[in-house]
Chain A
Amino acid sequence: MSVMSLSRWILPFLSVLLLAGPAAAAEVNLYSARQENLIKPLLDRFTEQTGIEVNLVTGKADALLQRLRSEGRNSPADLLLTTDAGRLHRAREAGVLAPVESGTLSERIPARYRDPEGYWFGLSVRARPIVYVTDRVKPAELSTYEALADPKWKGRVCIRSSSNIYNQSLVASMIAHHGVEATEAWARDFVANFARPPIGGDRDQVLAAAAGQCDIAVVNTYYLGVMLNEDDPEQREAAGRVAVFWPNQEGSGDGRGTHVNVSGIGLTAAAGNRDNAVRLMEFLTSDESQAWYAQVNHEYPVRDSVPVSDTLAAWGEFKADDLDLHLLGKYNAEAVRLMDRAGWK
């Protein structure tokens, strides 16, 4: 095929591709680190109510952030949704977010779950407590994250890799509370207690614990919640063999509360559909949406007024760590390095 006929063939083809893309009039464009099946139903509901089309790209938060940064002021994205506050903080620092002043949002969302200047807003709270196998561990043996470094847990702890953002945030929170040195010392002892090299995700830690590979695990609650409501009997059974323990409550350690993170959303600096974007943000904090998180994915609503699922209710109330969430972003790289040094794979 000669160059001529090649270009004759390719060019029209490419031009068709270039034209593909969002074109509806009333629309809002969302980059979401929350995967499609955990956000799409809400977005469809929003479109139904408002007539505003939502265009969606899902992906890993870091990649989406990189995409926002490269695209700069011409980015088509109006909103960035992530599943942790650290990345939202990083996005703000990268200058790709714009502040939003919305009475509705600041009224609905407690101040500690949003950026003080309105660069991002939490949508759901994700707690990372300890779970234990009920027939091998008594809750009285447990107290704080710090206490997990105790040699009595040697070979009994399951936790996923340090590459995971939830562990990075957890360690970042400890750096914020105790400083690098103390946290590193803790991490070394904690790693020494691992039952196996970190593999798999949070569900996997629960499965391993239920199967007897370890006695305690540190996982996000919603994984356990989903497992308990799973069709697959094996998963349900495994989840049923463990119980949630809320660490660092009043009376144990400094009583600062269990580590939490939020999934949240921020308006991009390049947003071309600002009004629609703010409407979507407000919609995601409505009673209806908040209840949906709680019911479908067993996350805690950011709004106290919204009822939680039966599964969550059964685990009882807990005090959440009220650490400034942007510190999780600030100490993230330090946390990764610390875990590298501590040998946390």
Chain B
Amino acid sequence: MNSTTTQTVPATSSRQHWLSSGWRAGVLLVALIVALPVLTVFSFVFEPAGEVWRHLAATVLQDYVVNSLLLMLGVGAGTLLLGVSTAWVTTTCEFPGRRVFEWALLLPMAIPAYIIAYTYTGLLDFAGPVQTGLRELTGWGYGDYWFPQIRSLGGAVVMLSLVLYPYVYLLTRAAFLEQSVCVLEVSRTLGASPWRTFSRVALPLARPAVITGLSLALMETLADYGTVQYFGVDTFTTGIFRTWFGLGDPGAAAQLSALLMSFVFVLILLERWSRRQARYHHTTSRYRSLPRHRLRGWQLPVGVLVCLVPLLFGFLVPAGQLLAWALRTAPEMLGVEFLQLTWHSLILAGSAALIALLLGLFMAYGKRLHGNWLVQGAVRIAGMGYAVPGTVIAVGVMIPFAAFDNTLDGWMRAQFGVSTGLLLSGTLAALLFAYTVRFLAVSLQTVEAGLGKIRLSMDDAARSMGYRPGEVLRRVHMPIMRGSLLTAVLLVFVDVLKELPATLILRPFNFNTLAVRAYELASDERLADAASASLAIVLAGIIPVILLSRSIAHSRPGHA
């Protein structure tokens, strides 16, 4: 009797409790495993690093903090500006080329940040064709004219904004499409101008989606190493590397990582807070496709320009430069081996995307079933890896995996005289695990958003008709939110395709990917030779990106 009376009813909504043990334990276990790498790195926090820490504080720490903050502010502003404006124009306005812009605006997503960075460097640096051309044209020499330094904090902000704004665009546009036309028309009938309707009605309604997109973009920004390192901007990420490897102090590096995580924590709070405000969703069930406002006169070039600028600088220019380089160097770079690289990249990205989807689905649904603080916290922690630099995660994966392998091996040797060697370390399983840790947040957030749009009464209805929770997920939720599921898979796919640091550190023998190849050549300052592999990443990423855009365009209310 005692055991039954101590059972508590969850605070928020009291969903099914009898199955708690299964789902809840599963969610907690997955969260724990996924959090393992981050926890491993954090365990170094307790190593004394006072002296190094004093050194950091006296010399470079301020730079790390200021640069990271400025980078976040800049990229935040940039992605908001580009993402929201393009989403609004393509959703509510009609102009020639709109249908193409709808999907083309997602293309920059296919370009890894470090690749756009070195592409623009090749183009715009002092020794690049633009400035050289300018000097030849005018006869100026060094110091005679001012030209923005691309390899700078400002440059990093621009580069990251150009490739990360599609996150904001993607989610904001989906939110605009879902808005009931009635709400917008009510606003117009109350005498509000289109601009006022946008700023007072549409934007506030879409805010949760905007914030989610923004937090994804900012987490990517915090985790970025390639771009800031290439541009010589000292941020937390570069600082962690320098401290770990240059100063040989994992403790201080972990403490820096912990500080970085506090930034992430703020982001997560912000995102959650905005979700909590999102209860006013879907007040009406009557939808019609939005009548588009036809752009005329001066509006037309402005509207086109709003869409063209991000597309041009985020995709056409860098992809064009890559193409130009690739045409020159492709004969040497292409071959059977190149096909193999491509195959490796695709299979890794595909597998990781599926794993992330399944785990994301499992955890998000577990949270829906048992929304208590423990499960909610576990789900949040499982998503933290997104803002942690790939290298930190790779090291965090490597250490516990090897420890497990060696412990098992030692035990097997002692017990049976058999050596099992390394079972997990150095396998693709370790690599896929690292991807999962890094990108689970992407699938989790997308799936959660999709699930959130399905009313709880759907679950209850299916349960009352004799279906167990797992069956309800498969028979009801998954079909209803297949758009969100597709989005989750494609986002992770593109992310893994671009991923570099974890791949570099954890991959097995004789296993290379397009990203590794592009990086090796680019880091040797052979930008032209790196172009073929870079371009292949971009091309492999374009197809899912287009699919993604189609899935949004076809999403209709009632379907998550």
Interface-side segment among B5-13, B78-86, B244-252: B244-252
How close is B248's CB to chain A, nearest CB, in angstroms? 5
Contacts of B55 in A (CB 8 A): 337, 340-341
Q: Known contacts A63-B391, A90-B248; is A232 also within 8 Å of B509 by CB?
A: no
Q: How far is the CA of A72 from the CA of B403 in the complex (A)?
A: 9
19 A-B contact pairs sorted by A residue (CB < 8 Å): A3-B26, A6-B358, A10-B355, A18-B423, A22-B510, A35-B520, A57-B510, A63-B391, A63-B504, A66-B398, A66-B505, A70-B399, A70-B402, A71-B426, A76-B509, A201-B524, A207-B125, A212-B143, A345-B234
CB distance A14 to B429 under 8 Å?
A: yes
Q: How far is the CA of A13 from the CA of B521 in the complex (A)?
A: 32
What residues of chain A lie closer than 8 Å to B429, measured between beta carbons?
14, 17-18
Is B60 in the interface zone, CB < 8 Å from A?
yes
Contact B508 A20 (CB under 8 A): yes
Q: Are A2 and B470 in contact (CB under 8 A)?
A: yes
- B528 CB-CB contact with A under 8 Å: yes
Q: How close is A46's CB to chain B, nearest CB, in angstroms?
A: 15
Does A316 have its Cβ within 8 Å of any Cβ on chain B?
A: no
Determine whether A213 belongs to the interface, using a CB cutoff of 8 Å to chain B: yes
Closest to A19 in B: B427
Q: A57-B426, A212-B143 are in contact. List 17 more A-B contacts (CB 8 A).
A: A1-B470, A2-B474, A14-B429, A18-B427, A22-B510, A35-B524, A36-B520, A63-B391, A71-B405, A74-B405, A76-B426, A199-B231, A200-B125, A200-B230, A333-B248, A337-B55, A341-B55
Contact of A66 among B395, B510, B528 (CB under 8 A): B395
Contacts of A63 on B, CB cut-off 8 Å? 391, 394-395, 504-505
Mark B258-285 against chain A: 1 for CB-CB distance below 8 A, else 0.
0000000000000000000000000000
A-B pairs, top 8 by smallest CB distance, nearest first, are: A212-B142, A2-B470, A55-B509, A70-B402, A207-B127, A62-B245, A199-B232, A340-B59
> Within A244-263, which residues are at the interface with B (CB < 8 Å)?
none
- Closest partner residue, chain A, to B361 (CB atom): A1
Contact check: which of B242, B409, B474, B523 meets A1 at CB < 8 Å?
B474
Chain B residues lying within 8 Å of A210, measured Cβ to Cβ, are: 127
Tell me, in angstroms, the Cα distance from A213 to B144 when the chains sit together.
11
Interface string of A151-173 (1 = CB under 8 A from B): 00000000001010000100000
From A14, A208, A223, A336, give the contact of B126 (CB < 8 A).
A208
Question: How near does chain B come to A195, taking the closest CB pair, in angstroms?
Answer: 9
Asked if A128 CB lies within 8 Å of chain B CBs, one says no
Q: Is the CB of A57 within 8 A of B126?
A: no
Question: Which chain A residues border B425 with CB–CB below 8 Å?
Answer: 67, 70-71, 74
- B 357-374 to A, binary, CB cutoff 8 A, 1 in contact else 0: 010011000000000000
Please tell me if the beta carbons of B398 and A67 are within 8 angstroms of each other in the complex.
yes
User: Per DSSP, are chain B's interface residues mostly helix, strand or loop, or mixed?
Assistant: helix
Are B361 and A21 in contact (CB-based, < 8 A)? Answer: no
Which residues of B does A touch, CB under 8 Å? 22, 26, 55-56, 58-60, 121, 125-127, 131-132, 141-143, 149, 151, 229-232, 234, 238, 241-242, 244-249, 328, 351, 355, 358, 361-362, 391, 394-395, 398-399, 401-403, 405-406, 409, 419, 421-429, 432, 470-471, 473-474, 478, 504-505, 507-512, 516-517, 520-521, 523-525, 528
CB distance B524 to A211 under 8 Å?
A: no
Report Cα–Cα, A64/B121, bound state, in Å: 29
Asked if A168 and B246 make an inter-chain contact with CB atoms under 8 angstroms apart, the answer reads yes
Interface residue A49 (Cβ < 8 Å from any Cβ of B)? no
Q: A74-B422, A212-B141, A232-B528 are in contact. Are A336 and B355 (CB under 8 A)?
A: no
Given known pairs A200-B151, A340-B59, the reply for A13 and B398 (CB within 8 Å) is: no
Q: Which residue of B lies closest to A71 (CB)?
A: B402
Considering the complex, which residues of chain A in the window 301-345 have a beta carbon less than 8 Å from any beta carbon of chain B? 332-333, 336-337, 340-341, 345
Please state if B409 and A74 are interface contacts (CB–CB under 8 Å): yes
Is A183 an interface residue, CB under 8 A from the partner? Answer: no
Known contacts A76-B509, A163-B238, A337-B55; A198 and B232 CB within 8 A of each other: yes
Return B472 CB to nearest CB of chain A, in Å. Answer: 10
Return the contact of B478 from the options A1, A60, A203 (Cβ within 8 A): A1
Complex: A17 Cα to B427 Cα, angstroms: 7
A-side contacts of B504, CB under 8 Å: 58-60, 63
A74 to B425, CA, bound (A): 10
**Does A29 belong to the interface (CB within 8 Å)?**
yes
A343, B528: Cα distance in complex, Å = 33
Tell me whether A110 is interfacial, beta carbon within 8 Å.
no
**Closest partner residue, chain B, to A206 (CB atom):** B127
A163 near B507: Cβ-Cβ < 8 Å:
no
Among the listed A1, A21, A37, A198, which residue makes an inter-chain contact with B473, where contact means beta carbons less than 8 Å apart? A1
Question: Is A75 close to B, CB under 8 A?
Answer: yes
Q: Are the C-beta atoms of A2 and B471 separated by less than 8 Å?
A: yes
B520 contacts A58, CB within 8 Å? yes
From residue B503, how far is it (CB to closest CB) to chain A in Å?
9
Residue A56 is within 8 A (CB to CB) of chain B in the complex: yes
CA distance A2 to B366 in the complex (A): 12
How far in angstroms is the closest Cβ of chain B from A11?
Answer: 11
Contacts A22-B509, A22-B510, A345-B232 given; does A72 touch B406 at CB 8 Å = yes
| A177 contacts partner chain B, Cβ-Cβ < 8 Å | no
When distances are taken between beta carbons in the complex, the residues of chain A under 8 Å from B520 are 35-37, 58
Instruction: Give every chain B residue within 8 A of A14 (Cβ-Cβ).
Output: 429
A65-85: contact bitstring with B at CB < 8 Å (1 yes, 0 no)? Answer: 011001111111000000000
State whether the Cβ of A242 lies closer than 8 Å to any Cβ in chain B: no
- Give chain B residues whose Cβ lies under 8 Å from the Cβ of A200: 121, 125, 151, 230, 232, 525
Cα distance A333–B394 in the bound complex, in angstroms: 23
Cross-chain contact A71 with B422 (CB below 8 angstroms): yes
What is the CB-to-nearest-CB distance from A209 to chain B, in angstroms, rounded to a whole number?
A: 9
Chain B residues contacting A202 (CB-CB under 8 Å) are 525
Whether a CB of chain B sits under 8 angstroms from the CB of A287 is no
- Contact with B525, one of A74, A196, A203, A341 (Cβ below 8 angstroms): A203
Residues of chain A contacted by B422 (CB below 8 angstroms): 71, 74-76
